[in-house]
Chain A
């Protein structure tokens, strides 16, 4: 609608706290080529977990969806956004001797709660190289372990007792992030006008970036396509 300038200004000022001009960057992550088949996991050494899976689960290094979509890709704004404040605590569960979700993305300083929902002990061992490395035992029935990380880093997480368990903490400097699910899509809303660099990270296929400019409250699309590795 066209209003005179002073009216527009008043309108904008009145609405500013509630609605700012903010765009969205969204897209889809896919792969080309043939990914390596994921291997079934033998949980026979941990019967309490084995019985939770009617068919054995597989490793999760590369998880794909229909139409060549790629899951578990962390897509985030790596440049151009303010380091917005961290949100509420995120959770990382150990269930059926698997990490759920496989990757949890969080902001530096954001609270992380690790829960053990299994009947066996696990030890949580984030193999941090930039942040501090620590290792804590978490028997069944323990309260959640609370942690935070000060520096951005993609931290590989493992359980030493159950060597097939692998997960990631994607600690980012920004709160504009998303982790793709099986449809491979992501959406990064609430971006004020500006120039941004979007980065997509996959634990095996590496990193790709794209530069996007937002001018108002439009939605810009950018897709990422990773080349599957032969091994």
Chain B
């Protein structure tokens, strides 16, 4: 074949490939495929999901689950799909209904929206894809379907999402306080003093299925580095306040005051040394060094000999 014909046939292949890639938006119908699963509990619980004004129905997601999910999450939704043996971290086991990314307290079920967001956002540093090609209806149906794998969803209600106060301004004092908290709460035991995931306990961490697991490395990654459960300051706040259930990362809900938590968020951003952020700008403007944090004295009376003495 001469060159132009070659190019034409290559172009045809290209167009065909594009069409195939665009297929995720196309939903298979039940009649098209032989029964190779999935096999959630029968009869399928009439599970619904509610995200915004979209209502998902479990029965409408069976073929989508088969097309996109069963390979990793398995026929029975227990995380033992065909691919699972080669994956680390392992795919989520839906049958125990323990999830990392929640807006709800540790030990409680996530909201439908939490699951919906996880599907659309994927899970960084794992094989969970970013399914941003799915329509809202598809994602909602899949959320409802996921809820059929564990009887917990029929017995328990989702937890109440934690309240996140408005973020205070990023200042060097906030960052300094965050650093003091990072030290006091011993985050460095797993995450390491620079958040590189190399703390003294890091090497022995295992998840709740006894698989080795590493703590997050804040210093890794570039400008686009994300967390398992998002990439915004609010997401960070939520992660350490609700904990990542199923992993060694605990909830600090009972140990940090809400405003102090924001200070910790601001400090954590400075550990992401390769990522441009307001926090890194503030740190740079302060000379690149985080000052020691001084406990603020309690608001005193205006008299100079008031109760608040020097540093505590």
| List of B residues within 8 angstroms of A121 by Cβ | 185-186, 189
Partner of B248, one of A123, A134, A142: A123
Is A138 within 8 A of B255, CB to CB?
yes
By beta carbon, the residue of chain B nearest A128 is B107
Interface residue? B158 (CB, 8 A): no
Partner of B106, one of A120, A136, A142, A161: A136
Interface residue? A220 (CB, 8 A): no
- B135 CB to closest chain A CB (Å) equals 33
Interface residue? A189 (CB, 8 A): no
Within 8 A of A (CB), among B106-155: 106-108
Partner of A123, one of B98, B204, B250: B250
Is B186 within 8 A of A120, CB to CB?
yes
Interface residue? A152 (CB, 8 A): no
Within 8 A of A (CB), among B179-237: 184-186, 189-190, 200-201, 204-206, 208
Interface residue? B251 (CB, 8 A): yes
Interface residue? A160 (CB, 8 A): yes
Interface residue? A17 (CB, 8 A): no
Partner of B254, one of A125, A127, A129, A145: A145
By beta carbon, the residue of chain A nearest B247 is A135
Partner of A133, one of B98, B248, B255: B98
Interface residue? B71 (CB, 8 A): no
Partner of A135, one of B204, B206, B251: B251
Given A162-B201, A163-B204: A132 and B108 interface contact (C-beta under 8 Å): yes
Interface residue? B279 (CB, 8 A): no
| List of A residues within 8 angstroms of B248 by Cβ | 123, 125, 135, 160-161
Known: A121-B189, A136-B106. 20 other contacts (CB 8 A): A45-B200, A120-B186, A124-B250, A125-B208, A132-B108, A134-B106, A134-B107, A134-B243, A134-B251, A135-B107, A135-B247, A137-B252, A139-B185, A139-B186, A142-B254, A142-B255, A145-B254, A160-B248, A161-B201, A161-B248
Which B positions have Cβ atoms within 8 angstroms of A? 96, 98, 106-108, 184-186, 189-190, 200-201, 204-206, 208, 243, 245-255
Nearest 3 CB-CB pairings of A with B? A134-B107, A160-B248, A123-B250
